[in-house]
Amino acid sequence: MTYTLSEHRYVVCGLGLTGQACVRFLLEKDAYVKAFDTREHLALGEHTTLDAVEVLLGLPKASFFENVDTLVLSPGVSPNEPAVQEAKRCGLEIIGDVELFARLTKTPCIGITGSNGKTTVTLLTTHILKSLGKRTVAAGNVGKPVLETLDAELDVIVLELSSFQLEMTSSLVLQGATLLNLSEDHLDRHGSLEGYGNAKQRIFAHCASAVVWRDHEYSVPEYPVGEVINYGLSASNEGFGVIDDNITYQGQPLISFSEIPLAGEHNVLNVMAALGLCETLGVDLNEAVNSVKTFESAPHRCVELGNFNGIRWIDDSKATNVGATIAAIQGIAPRLSGKLHLIAGGDAKGADLSPLRPVLEEHVASVFALGKDADKIVHIFPKTQYCKSMRDAVIAAKNTAHHNDVVMLSPACASIDMFNNYIERAEVFKAAVMEGQHL
């Protein structure tokens, strides 16, 4: 059945970038739309799309939901918010922008989710497909807002999907999908690892082929799927494996680790996942691996800032949860000739940091902790020094590290307690590193 926008009347909840994109799209399609944001004070800027619609700031009354039938919820707003629950009681269907997209798109899609690595896999997959001549765009949690892809002439859309987006999505059909991994994150929103995992698993609900990390139980689909392509760091005659520092497919070498422009074993897994997703589209893997060699890493994800006086500095600011930091440490440490020093801390968002302990004990010489939950890191790892600022942490690490050592910012926490976002955190780190070379 064709979904027709003109047959529905919409209210958009949340007026960040995604919410404004939804309002703009619905207006362009001549659909009825109004909007609200529960924040009473919000700088909307001048000459925005919102000038053309009714906008309410603050908590709406039930009467606000009269004569509308669908609430489009921005991913940053919890479906448990009282205003959203009130809309539900008024009989509105609650969906997200990805669900609206799913009902309208005619373009084949592949989807990527997971606690860590999804941006790298999304951008790498997009890069491979573009290199092979396919009209491709990355969208969703990275790249374009999904609704902006609907009028484009494309061969495939590569979707990075967060748990927030997936929990409001029910009819998205995917040619290929992967849940890369799962570790504690966003527990303040989902309540438990199980709830978080259930949201992520929705990526497999209408999936033709699943790409599965065979050594990670949470990657296995809980929904019935068609083909399964597995991958892992062990030797295997099925799917992707590893033999003598080479990625293999069906037991045959495809590409050596030395040809991959991404550091760490966790990125070997990311390359396998991207190749697996391309395989679901019938891509020639021998051609695809040539494109891997020309890929440039996503910003703030295990990116080396430089080698100063024999000490390497790595920016992994995008590691906003424990699993991401564990992956970075385990990916970098085994191939070091010196010691690894870690700068970590921030807002743990209610997550348990104790799973870091065995990894820190095995691979890390010292930790420099800052931010709201720095004390939790001090508690689990005695070789931790508390620092008041990023600059203090960088100076302390510089004074501790020796030739051939690595200092890595991989916080295991969100940045919002001290910075606007992980990008600003990375910029402050880089500035402190550069300043430190002159101290």
Q: Which amino acid is at 169?
A: T
Residue 126 Cα to chain centre, angstroms: 15
Does 141 qualify as catalytic in the annotation? Answer: yes
Active-site option among 116, 141, 230, 270: 141
**Distant-in-sequence, close-in-space partners of 297: CB < 8 Å, separation ≥ 6:** 120, 261, 262, 303
Active-site option among 34, 118, 190, 318: 118
Does 186 qualify as catalytic in the annotation? Answer: yes
Active-site option among 186, 376, 398, 430: 186
**Residues labelled catalytic:** 118, 141, 186
